[in-house]
């Protein structure tokens, strides 16, 4: 089954290597004094979250393929509740993302190094929930829109916003320096929660936006909101009149 996604995996791996080997290495030489020496590691940790997010939301594209093949009606007729169905899809999407991104996480850990194993285990556990939540969000949007083209465009815009207005590529203090509004949004961005938590997990504790506990709570909230919203959208949008 996973071989079906080999193109996605290969392309994402190339993208990751290019980001780290070219962009990361070069940009880390441009950064301000305070981040000199750690920005490359900071960036590599962030890029992993970007990867995890983008692979997790890929499940939305699967939804359109499934709709085209009529699999939706079949899934809705199975002896499982809507909650179980959405949860199953989100968790499935999240696990798949982790499997795909797993080797890249290993490379990132080799580059960044790990100081506290326990912190890393906690961070990775929370990142599972983040991946489930991102998959749930993608499913929710796909089902709500019921249009592959609109989904593609929206996800492109959302990707730009959610990544740029987060701490994936730059610390919160610099976002705040640019705009308080940007910083406010970044504070409630699930990608910020995930980036902070992963950096804490690998021992990059400078420039964290919030405590690890707050980041974990944010990720848990993200997961539950999109599971709940997903169930509601599934029921209203699909059961009301099918996919079309």
Q: Which residues bind another protein (CB under 8 A)?
A: 1, 4, 65-66, 69-71, 73-74, 76-81, 239-242
The distance of closest approach from Cβ of residue 60 to another protein in the complex, given in angstroms and rounded to an integer, is: 16
For residues 34 and 239, which CB has a smaller minimum distance to another protein in the complex? 239
For residues 29 and 77, which CB has a smaller minimum distance to another protein in the complex? 77
For residues 149 and 240, which CB has a smaller minimum distance to another protein in the complex? 240
- What Å distances lie between residue 160 and 11, 53, 110, 129, 174, CA to CA? 19, 12, 28, 22, 18
The distance of closest approach from Cβ of residue 232 to another protein in the complex, given in angstroms and rounded to an integer, is: 14
Question: CB–CB of 110/200 below 8 Å?
Answer: no
Taking the C-alpha atoms of residue 31 and residue 11, their distance in angstroms, rounded to an integer, is 28
The distance of closest approach from Cβ of residue 46 to another protein in the complex, given in angstroms and rounded to an integer, is: 32
For residues 93 and 201, which CB has a smaller minimum distance to another protein in the complex? 93
The distance of closest approach from Cβ of residue 66 to another protein in the complex, given in angstroms and rounded to an integer, is: 8
For residues 65 and 152, which CB has a smaller minimum distance to another protein in the complex? 65
Question: CB–CB of 139/230 below 8 Å?
Answer: yes
For residues 76 and 225, which CB has a smaller minimum distance to another protein in the complex? 76
The distance of closest approach from Cβ of residue 140 to another protein in the complex, given in angstroms and rounded to an integer, is: 19
The distance of closest approach from Cβ of residue 73 to another protein in the complex, given in angstroms and rounded to an integer, is: 5
């Amino acid at each position: 089954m996973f071989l079906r996604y080999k193109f996605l995996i290969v392309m994402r791996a190339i993208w990751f290597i290019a980001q780290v080997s070219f962009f990361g290495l070069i940009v880390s030489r441009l950064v301000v004094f305070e981040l000199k020496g750690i920005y490359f590691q900071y960036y590599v940790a962030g890029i992993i979250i970007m990867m995890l997010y983008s692979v997790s939301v890929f499940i939305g594209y699967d939804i359109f393929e499934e709709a085209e093949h009529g699999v939706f009606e079949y899934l809705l007729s199975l002896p499982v509740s809507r909650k179980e169905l959405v949860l199953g899809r989100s968790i499935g999407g999240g696990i798949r993302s982790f499997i795909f991104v797993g080797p890249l996480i290993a490379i990132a850990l080799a580059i960044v190094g790990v100081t506290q194993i326990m912190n890393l285990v906690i961070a990775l556990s929370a990142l599972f929930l983040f991946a489930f939540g991102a998959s749930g969000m993608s499913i929710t949007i796909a089902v709500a829109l019921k249009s592959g083209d609109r989904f593609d465009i929206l996800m492109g815009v959302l990707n730009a916003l959610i990544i740029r207005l987060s701490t994936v590529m730059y610390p919160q203090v610099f976002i705040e320096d640019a705009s308080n509004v940007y910083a406010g949004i970044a504070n409630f961005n699930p990608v910020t929660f995930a980036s902070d938590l992963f950096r804490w997990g690998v021992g990059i504790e400078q420039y964290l936006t919030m405590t690890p506990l707050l980041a974990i709570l944010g990720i848990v909230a993200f997961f539950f909101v999109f599971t709940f919203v997903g169930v509601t959208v599934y029921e209203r949008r699909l059961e009301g009149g099918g996919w079309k």
